[in-house]
Structure 1
């Protein structure tokens, strides 16, 4: 009877850890596009989320524009949301969208900017990014190296 209860408790812990690994990941910052907010080498905790839960101003992690890596590792970019679907197109701050049709950001698209414009490949140059690149929202910086590894970029 005690063994059955112990096994159930261990099973619940394992299921809880599996859920956490799917819901949260840690990403290492590469490059200088988010200086001074995030520095290269810092690690951030990311909550996986869908595009419908995003808000302008949040910092997100997306698959890089240039799919990478000879080493097989995922390549991500960290940017700040300037506009989400339904928001007015920020033409004044995003030159690549000055002649975009319509007045609102279309469904399935995001406008993202790095905090360091001189070192950021973002919507200023590329226009919209598709929401299918989204990994999740940055919650905070982390110090631990015990967090789950990030999956490969799509």
Structure 2
């Protein structure tokens, strides 16, 4: 019975927490290439937090529908993910002084977010893509002390 309870707890935990390896330099200096981060799935992000978001297929968007909130780890692993910082969420003012692709609104629309890499010269983010749908956010990166 203990093994069965452990298995159930492990399954629940892997649906809530995911370990992700950072690829690339778009979040330097905060995160380096090959850093390991722990992601809390489906936690509502706040501005300033770092999230893992599903990468679109270039500027065309996504080929597949969003993952269900409780998708199993193999389904999560089959998608391509990016790590970005949340700058604005639905209802927030669109940041001025930034050139965001395909954005003419004064406020971030419902269900959307402005996401940026910390290293603008090496980041594919809202400057090139525009808004990212919140349903494409896997979760919030757990940082030490939080």
Work out whether 1:96 is the aligned partner of 2:96.
Answer: no
Q: Which runs of 5+ in 1 are unaligned?
A: 1-6, 142-154
Aligned residues: 127
Over the aligned positions, Cα root-mean-square deviation in angstroms equals 2.2
Deviation per CA, 1:104-136: give whole Å up to 9, x if none: 111111100000000001111221111121110
Q: Secondary structure at the match of 1:39?
A: coil
Distance 1:59 1:90 in 2: 17
Q: Is the Cα–Cα contact under 8 Å of residues 103 and 131 in structure 2 kept in the other structure?
A: no
In structure 2, the residue matched to 1:111 is: 114
The equivalent position to 2:13 in structure 1, one of 7, 20, 30, is: 20
The equivalences for 1:1-154 within 5 A come to: 7=1, 9-50=2-43, 53-66=44-57, 73-93=78-98, 95-96=99-100, 100-101=104-105, 103-140=106-143
- Normalised to the residue count of structure 2, the TM-score between the two structures is 0.78
Residues 111 and 19 of structure 1: is their aligned pair in 2 closer, same or farther, counting only changes over 3 Å?
same
Distance 1:34 1:91 in 2: 21
- Normalised to the residue count of structure 1, the TM-score between the two structures is 0.75
Q: Is the Cα–Cα contact under 8 Å of residues 47 and 137 in structure 1 kept in the other structure?
A: yes
Distance 1:99 1:14 in 2: 46
Distance 1:109 1:91 in 2: 17
Q: Is the Cα–Cα contact under 8 Å of residues 89 and 113 in structure 2 kept in the other structure?
A: yes
Distance 1:139 1:129 in 2: 20
